[in-house]
Amino acid sequence: MANRNKLYNFGRCYIFTCKIILMKTAEIKLTIELDDNNVPESILWESTDSENKEALPVKSMMLALWDQSYNNALRIDLWTKDMPVDEMKTFFYQTLMTMGDSFLRATGETNIVEDLRDYCAHFADKMELERK
């Protein structure tokens, strides 16, 4: 009963009360400038929740979304023409490592995350990356 909307009658005046739950929201905006062949020339991102209120340039992005209706991952992977291969290798290495961190937080599956981190070390060695 405490969560229900209420209407109070005070003679000629009615007062309506309701419980309002405010949810914090944030918007992330991606702006992709494409050349004539639809290859990204620039990628800018901004967030309404960020302290920095201007769009920031990046050279590469990966976006993964889960479509529960089709039980399928939807992905967008983009990189600009001027993204150097050595930076792309580092980007993939760091992304794989952070995916392991996210998977651990989401599932608590320590053993498989240790295996993923072992693979990431192998990946870094094969790609001759400096690990930070």
80-94 pLDDT tens trace = 999 999 999 999 999
Mean pLDDT computed over 21-28: 86
Number of domains in the chain: 1
Q: Do 43 and 78 contact (CB within 8 A), yes or no?
A: yes
Closest CA to 40 of 84, 2, 77: 77
Q: Phi first, then psi: give them for residue 66, nearest 5 degrees.
A: -105, 120
User: Domain span at residue 96?
Assistant: 84-132
pLDDT of 132 > 80? The answer is no
Task: Specify if 118 maps to a domain.
Answer: yes
pLDDT band at 16 (very low <50, low <70, confident <90, very high): low
pLDDT band at 17 (very low <50, low <70, confident <90, very high): low
Closest CA to 60 of 42, 81, 78, 46: 78
Task: Specify if 92 maps to a domain.
Answer: yes
Task: Specify if 40 maps to a domain.
Answer: no
Task: Specify if 111 maps to a domain.
Answer: yes
Distance CA 122, CA 103 (A): 19
Task: Specify if 98 maps to a domain.
Answer: yes
Across the chain, mean pLDDT equals 89
Proportion of the chain above pLDDT 70, given as a percent: 85
Closest CA to 32 of 42, 24, 22: 42
Task: Specify if 55 maps to a domain.
Answer: no
pTM, to two decimals: 0.78
Distance CA 124, CA 120 (A): 6
Mean pLDDT computed over 107-127: 97
Closest CA to 59 of 28, 96, 90: 90
